[in-house]
Amino acid sequence: MTTFTDGVPPLVTPEPGDGPAPSGHGVAQGDKPPHHAETSAEHCDNDDADDGMDTGSGWLRDEIQRRIAAGHSGTGGRHARRESVDSSTSLGYVPRHSVATPGPGAPRPGPVGGPVGLRPTGLLRRERTGAEGPFLPIAPAAWSRPARPDTAGTAPPSVDADPPDTPPAPPAPDLRAEAALEHPVPPAPDLRADAAPEYPVPPAPVLPVTAPPAYPLRGAVPTALVGTVPPIGSVSVPALSGDPLFTARTPAPGSRERGSSLAVPEQRGVDEPHGGPESQDDVESRRVRVVLAERKGVARPVRTVVDIQEGTGVGELLRRNLIGSQLAVALRFAVGAGLTLGVLPLLFAMFPELGRMEVLGLRLPWLLLGVLVYPFLFGLGLWHARTAERVEQNFADHVQD
Amino acid sequence: MSTPALVALVAIALVGIVSAVIGSIGVRIARSTSDFLVASRTVGSVANASAISGEYLSAASFLGIAGLILREGADALWYPIAFVAGYLALVLFVAAPLRRSGAYTVPDFAEARLGSPALRRMCTTFVLAIGWLYLLPQLQGAGLALTTLTSLPSWSGVAAASVLVVLTVIGGGMRSITFVQAFQYWLKLTALIVPAIVVLGLFMSDARSFDRPAPPNFPHDTTVQVRTDVVLEVTATVRFEAAGEIDDQPAHGRVTWEPGQHEVAAKTTLTFAAGSAVPTVVGAPTTDRAWLEPMSGDAPDQLLEIYSILVAGFLGTMGMPHVLVRFYTNPDGRAARRTTVVVLAMIGFFYMLVTFVGALSRLYTPELLVSGQTDAAVLLVPTAALGNGWTGWLLGGLVAAGAAAAFLATSSGLVVSLAGVLFTDLLRGRLRDFRLAALVASIVPLPVALSVTRLDFALTVPLVFAVAASTFCPLLVLGIWWRGLTAPGAIAGLLVGGGLSGIAVAITMFAVLPSGWLGVLLYRPAAITVPAAFLTMVVVSKLTRAEIPPGVDGTLLRLHAPERLGLTHDRLDREA
């Protein structure tokens, strides 16, 4: 679900008079900047506990449904080329309830920056948010990305960063447990990457553009969210905390995750219809600024992506896994083709009678070497392309989760 | 000039004109340098695959393979297999990572991966050497087509082909080349399917079989003009009229050959009556039955030759500069892979047809076995099968158009890739320089093509593939998959592979080959040179482990990670 460019956390920060968002969140956030996990979980719990105002989850449900719908009708889904992905999910997205911005049906602005400069933008953003601190004074800049409320994509790492000392708020445990039930065995990333080449690769089309991949993690998350509407943090915790790689080796996430995972629900809560109509106008007027302000940043890699780029332990492992499994796949196909083709001349040399056999009115060598070998090579190529795509896709899914 | 010659000339001219028109339409779309060089990386999968196939199916494929099959029979089937299997290797090892490298040329890739200017210069040299070496047979093939179909001198074909190529390339760069080559693929396919169907119909109604212990027969009274000295082998007594020099003696009038070998000097005319047995060039299977069965020659040497051809084709395709440059026009790595798979289907089907036409040409144009000009088989089959008449002439014209398309497509693709290398490495500059580079790239091989005697495609093409397989293949494969590769290792490997295969090329072209396995290895060097190059690269890289570039992990990751993670950068864009 929250796939591609989800790396960009919505840097929405509440302003003082920003609707009913409880100020306690801000406090929690400000108090313990390093413990995002804690705060984020807590904050989610708070949301639920707070005066029966189911804002966070309600928003989330809507948002996820919207995203699923967008994914289904979108331009190409997870395999779409980078540009189209960006434009369909992030650039073109206009916040709901926004009056001043063009409606969702309005023509999308073209990618301003183009696919170039993804990384610089990411870096730029990181340092800025780091400098700015989690909230308040920099609201306009932080607003710039309402297009990516991908809390599910960004929250996990931060939530996960510090599980032990997370004091679960009263209502939280059951939700968390429930979510955990959804994923009895969270698949470990390296396993997935390894298993990829083993897939039998049926001739069926590789993962339809619209549907999420079939393995449990991704499939389960949306269901859980839509069905039970747990707060964001608790949903993603089990998925990742079961993953030894993430718990053990991942360094504390950068400052930018912090602001996002914390702030989003509040913001969205404000955005919710139940969330106090009087505040809505404020939000919207600010939104306009947001959308126009920084659209050119196309995508920023999620933290895991940064991990593999920067060669941390996790990244190194992931990279080796990807290259290793791709090489294994390629070599397997090459050996298969080489053996098949290489044995034939030897056979014809050792058993000349083979060359005199007639099959279907043709001499065997002519039938094999003049006709059948080409469909064989084509089939191998097709099979390999699909296998390799699947390996890549698993890697990317995994990295972006 | 005869009517068929005129028809053929008109057809060739039409191909040239249509190509130029498509090129000039494309040029209106081409606006930036990126458009010029890599079609802005927005060419669709099938269009790109057509273009790649159109570019790849050169004179060697269109004419050479059919000629080889006419002469060698079942043993020649390995050539097209090797050329197609090369794309399987591309899909497996190179296509997607190469596209993701974001580099435009092989030298660019080498520098991006290993960060060594020296290596880059060396790669530039090899790209130019391979490209020009491969341009030679293309240009000479244009000359052959023209001489065979018309009575024009062969230099005019060479010159005309160069001019046309330069015009299309200068006109539109890669973008228009893409469309031109896509068009040329479908033209070539048509030019092969139609005669294949016609000849198949005739063959079915004839009910003739190849399974006879006798040499092929001339279907009609046939006059053969021998153009180069040739040694013929006869298995049954043959009587014919001769005018010229046979076995070092002037021969005029009736001649009777007993079984054995006979030497015929150039410019001799032999006239055979219908039904008489066809003498064949020495070394080729003499009887139809031997032709039909594999392994007709000396088994160990022939096995070595077959394996060497397979290695050269399988690994050499990825090293051909005009093939590589095509992969940068794909939008992303995944599309590059898919394009390659489509290419596999396209050229596989094409070679099936070539094989078929080549086999049937043994029935209809056996005189080529006497003159040794077997490369002309496809060109002559339509008229030979249909006889003199408008159907035959038109069909001949279609085939001529296809042949012209073959030369033009490969040559312009080669010129674009060579010009790209010249442009980015030697003449760093703007658009104008790209045109200049294209001009230089196409003019350099011209004098050589005009002066050197034409060799069989079957000889020259696998040689060029062998050079590519022993240089760029190890560089690409190790560069993409092995983090331990170092610049000194790559340079050493290139030197060993390129040096060995270069020596083999020189000896094959300018000296008489020894017989036995050594001779086989000299004109089919891939079996030795490719492993040698790989080994050198690995060993030297291991010895110079300190030279592993610092950012190697990031580079490798970019090569293999899917685009949606946002790690890939286009070098060209970045520089701009």
Predicted local confidence at residue B441, as pLDDT = 82
Predicted local confidence at residue A57, as pLDDT = 55
> Which A residues in the span 361-380 are in contact with B, Cβ-Cβ below 8 Å?
363, 365-366, 369-371, 373-375, 377-378, 380
> Which B residues in the span 246-305 are in contact with A, Cβ-Cβ below 8 Å?
292-295, 299, 302-303
Between B154 and A292, the higher pLDDT residue: B154
Average pLDDT on A151-160 reads: 39
Average pLDDT on B414-438 reads: 74
DSSP string over A284-347: HHHHHHHHHHSTT------HHHHHHHHT-HHHHHHHHHHHHHHHHHHHHHHHHHHHHHHHHHHH
A349-353, B454-458, B542-546: segment of lowest average pLDDT = B454-458
pLDDT tier, B175 (very low <50, low <70, confident <90, very high otherwise) = low
Burial (Cβ within 10 Å: 0-12, 13-18, ≥19) of residue B225? middle
Nearest Cα residue to B175 out of B279, B25, B347, B294: B25
Q: Is the pLDDT of residue A192 over 70?
A: no
Q: For chain A, what is the radius of gyration of the CA atoms? A: 25
The answer to whether residues B127 and B106 touch, using CB atoms and an 8 Å cutoff, is yes
DSSP 8-state assignment for residue A75: S
Using CA atoms, how far apart are residues A379 and A201, in angstroms rounded to an integer? 12
Between A346 and B370, the higher pLDDT residue: A346
Q: Is the pLDDT of residue B200 over 90?
A: no
CA dihedral A320, A321, A325, A326 (to 10 degrees): -60
Predicted local confidence at residue B97, as pLDDT = 87
Q: Is the pLDDT of residue B576 over 70?
A: no
Predicted local confidence at residue B28, as pLDDT = 57
Q: Is the pLDDT of residue A359 over 60?
A: yes
φ and ψ of B280, to 5 deg: -115, 155
Between A145 and B6, the higher pLDDT residue: B6
Q: What is the pLDDT of residues B86-103, one digit of tens each?
A: 999 988 998 888 888 877
Between B129 and B293, the higher pLDDT residue: B129
Q: Percent of chain B having pLDDT more than 90?
A: 13
Q: Is the pLDDT of residue A284 over 70?
A: no
Average pLDDT on B503-515 reads: 81
Using CA atoms, how far apart are residues B76 and B313, in angstroms rounded to an integer? 13
Question: Could you give the 3-state DSSP secondary structure of residue B253?
Answer: strand
Predicted local confidence at residue A94, as pLDDT = 40
Closest-approach residue (CA) in chain A for B315: A334
User: Cβ–Cβ of B78/A396 closer than 8 Å?
Assistant: no
Using CA atoms, how far apart are residues B291 and B211, in angstroms rounded to an integer? 9
Nearest Cα residue to B63 out of B198, B192, B227: B192
The minimum CA-CA distance between A365 and chain B, rounded to whole Å, is 7
Task: Pick the residue of A378, A387, A393 with the most B CBs within 10 A to test the interface with B by mutation.
Answer: A378
Q: Write out B43-79 in H/E/C secondary structure.
A: CCHHHHHHHHHHHHCCHHHHHHHHHHHHHHHHHHHHH
User: Cβ–Cβ of A116/B573 closer than 8 Å?
Assistant: yes
Predicted local confidence at residue B435, as pLDDT = 75
Between B170 and B533, the higher pLDDT residue: B533
Closest-approach residue (CA) in chain B for A398: B565
Between B250 and B191, the higher pLDDT residue: B191
Predicted local confidence at residue B13, as pLDDT = 83
Between A168 and B35, the higher pLDDT residue: B35
User: Cβ–Cβ of B294/A395 closer than 8 Å?
Assistant: no
Any CB–CB contact under 8 A between A78 and chain B?
yes
Give whole-number Cα distances, A300 to A111, A303, A304, B352, in Å.
14, 9, 11, 48
Using CA atoms, how far apart are residues B495 and B481, in angstroms rounded to an integer? 21
Q: What is the pLDDT of residues B348-375, one digit of tens each?
A: 999 999 888 888 888 888 777 777 777 7
The minimum CA-CA distance between A174 and chain B, rounded to whole Å, is 35
Residues, chain B: 576
Question: Could you give the 3-state DSSP secondary structure of residue A394?
Answer: helix
User: Cβ–Cβ of A377/B314 closer than 8 Å?
Assistant: no
Size of the A and B interface in Cβ pairs below 8 Å = 167
Using CA atoms, how far apart are residues A230 and A56, in angstroms rounded to an integer? 9
Task: Pick the residue of B212, B557, B558 with the most A CBs within 10 A to test the interface with A by mutation.
Answer: B557
Q: Which residues of B touch A373 (CB under 8 A)?
A: 81, 84
Between A206 and A304, the higher pLDDT residue: A304
Closest-approach residue (CA) in chain A for B564: A82
A76-90, B43-57, B150-164: segment of lowest average pLDDT = A76-90
Using CA atoms, how far apart are residues A258 and A261, in angstroms rounded to an integer? 6
Nearest CB to B74 within list A85, A366, A373: A366
Q: Percent of chain A having pLDDT more than 90?
A: 4
The answer to whether residues B507 and B513 touch, using CB atoms and an 8 Å cutoff, is yes
A321-325, A375-379, B421-425, B545-549: segment of lowest average pLDDT = B421-425
φ and ψ of A147, to 5 deg: -70, -10
User: Cβ–Cβ of B556/A334 closer than 8 Å?
Assistant: no
Nearest CB to A341 within list B81, B335, B553: B81
Using CA atoms, how far apart are residues A358 and A348, in angstroms rounded to an integer? 14
Predicted local confidence at residue A29, as pLDDT = 40
The minimum CA-CA distance between A268 and chain B, rounded to whole Å, is 27
> Which B residues in the span 405-444 are in contact with A, Cβ-Cβ below 8 Å?
none
Q: Which of A20-24, A132-136, B137-141 holds the top average pLDDT?
A: B137-141
Nearest CB to A334 within list B78, B92, B310: B92
Q: Is the pLDDT of residue A44 over 70?
A: no
φ and ψ of A363, to 5 deg: -65, 140
Predicted local confidence at residue A296, as pLDDT = 45
CA angle A39, A42, A47 (to 5 degrees): 120
CB atoms within 10 A of CB A333: 21
The minimum CA-CA distance between B152 and chain A, rounded to whole Å, is 35
Q: Which of B107-111, B201-205, B450-454 holds the top average pLDDT?
A: B107-111
User: Residue B144's beta-bridge partner residues?
Assistant: none
Q: Is the pLDDT of residue A302 over 60?
A: no
Average pLDDT on B461-475 reads: 91
Unique residue bearing structure tokens 């300190």:
B546
Q: Is the pLDDT of residue A261 over 70?
A: no
Any CB–CB contact under 8 A between B92 and chain A?
yes
pLDDT tier, B176 (very low <50, low <70, confident <90, very high otherwise) = low
The minimum CA-CA distance between A112 and chain B, rounded to whole Å, is 15
Give whole-number Cα distances, A257 to A12, A74, B343, in Å.
11, 27, 45
User: Cβ–Cβ of B307/A342 closer than 8 Å?
Assistant: yes
pLDDT tier, B116 (very low <50, low <70, confident <90, very high otherwise) = confident
Structure tokens at B465: 């593939």
User: Cβ–Cβ of A377/B356 closer than 8 Å?
Assistant: no
List Cβ neighbours of B95 (8 Å cut-off, separation of 6 or more): B327, B333, B336, B337, B339, B340
Q: Which of A231-235, B28-32, B172-176, B322-326 holds the top average pLDDT?
A: B322-326
Q: Is the pLDDT of residue A86 over 60?
A: no
Predicted local confidence at residue B537, as pLDDT = 92
Between A275 and B25, the higher pLDDT residue: B25
Q: Is the pLDDT of residue B472 over 60?
A: yes
Question: Between helices A255-271 and A23-31, what is the axis angle to 10°?
Answer: 180
The minimum CA-CA distance between B473 and chain A, rounded to whole Å, is 14
Using CA atoms, how far apart are residues A104 and A111, in angstroms rounded to an integer? 16
> Which B residues in the span 56-85 are in contact with A, Cβ-Cβ below 8 Å?
74, 77-78, 81, 84-85
CB atoms within 10 A of CB B429: 13
> Which A residues in the span 177-216 are in contact with B, Cβ-Cβ below 8 Å?
none
Give whole-number Cα distances, B41 to A257, A388, B35, in Å.
34, 22, 8
Unique residue bearing structure tokens 């190790």:
B478
Between B497 and A233, the higher pLDDT residue: B497
The minimum CA-CA distance between A75 and chain B, rounded to whole Å, is 14
Predicted local confidence at residue A209, as pLDDT = 39
pTM, 2 dp = 0.66
User: Cβ–Cβ of A355/B295 closer than 8 Å?
Assistant: yes
Any CB–CB contact under 8 A between A85 and chain B?
yes
Q: Is the pLDDT of residue A371 over 50?
A: yes
Distance, C-alpha B367 to centroid of its chain:
24
Q: Which residues of B touch A299 (CB under 8 A)?
A: 566
List Cβ neighbours of B218 (8 Å cut-off, separation of 6 or more): B272, B273, B274, B275, B276, B278, B366, B367
The answer to whether residues B47 and B182 touch, using CB atoms and an 8 Å cutoff, is yes
Q: For chain B, what is the radius of gyration of the CA atoms? A: 24
Q: Is the pLDDT of residue B538 over 90?
A: yes
CA dihedral B165, B166, B170, B171 (to 10 degrees): -50
Q: What is the pLDDT of residues B202-245, one digit of tens each?
A: 777 766 666 666 777 777 777 777 777 778 877 777 788 877 77
Predicted local confidence at residue B349, as pLDDT = 92
Between B227 and B183, the higher pLDDT residue: B183
The minimum CA-CA distance between A165 and chain B, rounded to whole Å, is 32
The answer to whether residues A25 and A55 touch, using CB atoms and an 8 Å cutoff, is no
Mean pLDDT rounded to a whole number for chain B: 80
User: Cβ–Cβ of A389/B334 closer than 8 Å?
Assistant: yes
Any CB–CB contact under 8 A between B129 and chain A?
no
pLDDT tier, B1 (very low <50, low <70, confident <90, very high otherwise) = low
pLDDT tier, B330 (very low <50, low <70, confident <90, very high otherwise) = confident
Burial (Cβ within 10 Å: 0-12, 13-18, ≥19) of residue B49? buried
Using CA atoms, how far apart are residues B321 and A119, in angstroms rounded to an integer? 31
The minimum CA-CA distance between B532 and chain A, rounded to whole Å, is 19
Q: Which of A51-55, A93-97, A387-391, B174-178 holds the top average pLDDT?
A: A387-391
Any CB–CB contact under 8 A between A337 and chain B?
yes
> Which B residues in the span 320-349 are in contact with A, Cβ-Cβ below 8 Å?
331-332, 334-335, 337-338, 340-341, 344-345, 348-349
List Cβ neighbours of B87 (8 Å cut-off, separation of 6 or more): A377, A381, B317, B340, B343, B344, B347
Q: Which residues of A touch B556 (CB under 8 A)?
A: 319, 323
Nearest CB to A355 within list B293, B310, B561: B293
Nearest CB to B341 within list A81, A365, A381: A381
Mean pLDDT rounded to a whole number for chain A: 51
> Which A residues in the span 246-305 are in contact with B, Cβ-Cβ below 8 Å?
298-301, 305
User: Cβ–Cβ of A374/B337 closer than 8 Å?
Assistant: no
User: Cβ–Cβ of B562/A346 closer than 8 Å?
Assistant: no
CB atoms within 10 A of CB B9: 18
Q: Which of A99-103, A376-380, B111-115, B448-452 holds the top average pLDDT?
A: A376-380
Predicted local confidence at residue A20, as pLDDT = 42
The answer to whether residues A136 and A265 touch, using CB atoms and an 8 Å cutoff, is no
Predicted local confidence at residue B416, as pLDDT = 80
Unique residue bearing structure tokens 């400000």:
A30
The answer to whether residues B364 and A109 touch, using CB atoms and an 8 Å cutoff, is no
Question: Could you give the 3-state DSSP secondary structure of residue B241?
Answer: strand
